[in-house]
Structure 1
Amino acid sequence: MCYRTKLNSKLSDIKRTLSARFIEPDAYQPQLEINAFTFSKTPIISDENQGEIQLFNWGLIPFWAKDDKIKKMTLNAKIETIAEKPSFRNSVDKRCLVIADGYYEWHWKDSKGKEKQKYLITPTDQEIFAFAGIYSSWINPETNESINSYSIVTTEANELMAEIHNNKKRMPVVLKQQDHQSWLNGTDHSKFAFPYEVPLIASEVV
């Protein structure tokens, strides 16, 4: 799965790479490691505003949720089942690009994961890239606050990630740069499942 990402690039480089402008440039904070379980706001581009970089919360809250507790279980969305899962099926066609410049995964050195090796994963052909994401807009019934949130779509691991993420053998869908528009415009999500992939490299984190 994918619960730790990285986005430490300069705002100007992100804008240039994605050909989009930040709506709240002063709110962007470069981070060497983003922990999904903080449910923080990170930069995305939605299908509805493709020229704008917005900040959405990680952890999708479906519109029908009575509270936000579900976000703990919706940080990732399996591409094989997003059309059927109640949490995701209303967001299958609400697409976004989740912007990053790396993500982290752990290799289990023993069967119970007591000893692990951390790796930083990056594409070999993109310094700044996008995960395939889906999103939702939710109104908090207690405060009437509108919250936009997303989930990173995952797929079966390729050869490299199956070796590293050897307990779950999953990986996030990293999009080819030329496929950003295709994902946003609603191309059948199954076309982005493995064996769809970009070349990746893994570096040990000491």
Structure 2
Amino acid sequence: MCYYTQQNAPKKNIQERFNAKFDQEANLIENDFINGFSYPNLPVILDSSPNIITTNFNWGLLPNWTKDINFRKNTLNARIETVDEKAS
């Protein structure tokens, strides 16, 4: 993941491009600058329901095995170089 992203395409274009509908259109963030450290909900299409674009997923890494609530702020950007060294 990166620290910043953008999502500025209109809802209609996204739905046509992926042949899917939003589950909650009001939750879609349309912005040229989205900060990952605010852990926003971003659009996701799941394999289990490819016709739905859901906005119920937060950006960030928070494994189910962690008990440390501050773990998330240290793992926004995963790196392939340390995949064998870190549990996350």
Establish whether TM, by shorter chain, passes 0.5: yes
1:178-197 paired onto structure 2 within 5 Å? none
Does residue 10 (structure 1) correspond to residue 24 (structure 2)? The answer is no
1:53-79 CA distance string (max 9 Å, x none): 112111111011224321112222224
Gaps of 5+ in 2: none
Runs of 4+ in 1 over 6 A off after TM superposition: none
- 2:20 and 2:52 in contact (8 A); partners too: yes
Please state how far the C-alpha of 1:84 moved relative to its aligned partner: 6.3
Gaps of 5+ in 1: 88-206
Does residue 33 (structure 1) correspond to residue 69 (structure 2)? The answer is no
1:190-205 paired onto structure 2 within 5 Å? none
Structure (1 or 2) with the larger CA radius of gyration: 1
Q: Kindly tell me: are residues 81 and 45 of structure 1, through their superposed partners in 2, closer, same or farther at Cα, counting changes over 3 Å?
A: farther
Mapped to 2, the partners of 1:85 and 1:52 lie a distance apart of 34
Does residue 73 (structure 1) correspond to residue 70 (structure 2)? The answer is no
Q: Kindly tell me: are residues 67 and 26 of structure 1, through their superposed partners in 2, closer, same or farther at Cα, counting changes over 3 Å?
A: same
SS at match of 1:54: strand
User: Which amino acid in 1 is paired with 2:6?
Assistant: K
Between Structure 1 and Structure 2, which shows a larger proportion of helix residues? 2
Between Structure 1 and Structure 2, which shows a larger proportion of strand residues? 1
Q: Kindly tell me: are residues 51 and 73 of structure 1, through their superposed partners in 2, closer, same or farther at Cα, counting changes over 3 Å?
A: farther
- 1:36 and 1:75 in contact (8 A); partners too: yes
Mapped to 2, the partners of 1:31 and 1:75 lie a distance apart of 20
Q: Higher relative CO (CA 8 A, sep ≥ 6), structure 1 or 2? A: 2
Aligned to 1:23: 23
TM-score (norm 2): 0.79
Please state how far the C-alpha of 1:50 moved relative to its aligned partner: 2.6
Aligned to 2:61: 60
1:75-111 CA distance string (max 9 Å, x none): 2222455476422xxxxxxxxxxxxxxxxxxxxxxxx
Please state how far the C-alpha of 1:32 moved relative to its aligned partner: 1.4
How many aligned residue pairs are there?
87
Q: What percentage of aligned pairs have identical amino acids?
A: 40
Q: Kindly tell me: are residues 17 and 37 of structure 1, through their superposed partners in 2, closer, same or farther at Cα, counting changes over 3 Å?
A: same
